Amino acid sequence: MIDLARGPAGDDPRLGALRLVAWELAPLAQGPPTTRQEVVPAEDAPRLVAALRRLHDELATSPHSGRPTARLRRVRVGVPSLEPGFWWTSPTLEDDDARARLVAWRMETVFEAPGAAAPDPPDP
């Protein structure tokens, strides 16, 4: 299970203080589901997940407009880590040169609506 409070050991502590929250909404009409994502401070991730569940799952109506909201299908939270870059991240485009490190997100599903079970989408 992902530790939402701490980043992986050895990573920049500022990076470990972030989370990627990605959510999928069922369409209100015909069409594909909508996926949104936001990078938030780690301590705000549970708050955002709770707000998404309340707005899209419990209330299902916007308290500001009175209009129906799309149903929440899935919420995933990601913990970042620094990964070594690929050959194409080096200015010389060589394998043995210094490369730009890339941020990878290890994602975990923290909410899934009944009947929405499907394989998790690939990590962003």
pLDDT confidence of 123, banded at 50, 70, 90? low
What are the structure tokens assigned to 53, written together? Answer: 């569940």
Domain boundaries, the chain: 13-112
Q: Is pLDDT above 70 for 67?
A: yes
List CB contacts of 12: < 8 A, sequence separation 6 or more. 82
- Tell me the C-alpha distance between 107 and 121, whole Å: 10
Q: What is the pLDDT of residue 1?
A: 59
Helix (H) or strand (E) holding 13: helix 13-16
> Cβ(106)–Cβ(123) under 8 Å?
yes
Say how many residues make up the chain: 124
> Cβ(47)–Cβ(107) under 8 Å?
no
- Tell me the C-alpha distance between 1 and 102, whole Å: 23
> Cβ(26)–Cβ(33) under 8 Å?
yes
Q: What is the pLDDT of residue 12?
A: 64
- Tell me the C-alpha distance between 8 and 13, whole Å: 9
- pLDDT (tens digit, 9 = 90+) per residue, 14-61? 888 999 999 999 987 777 889 999 999 999 999 999 999 999 988 888
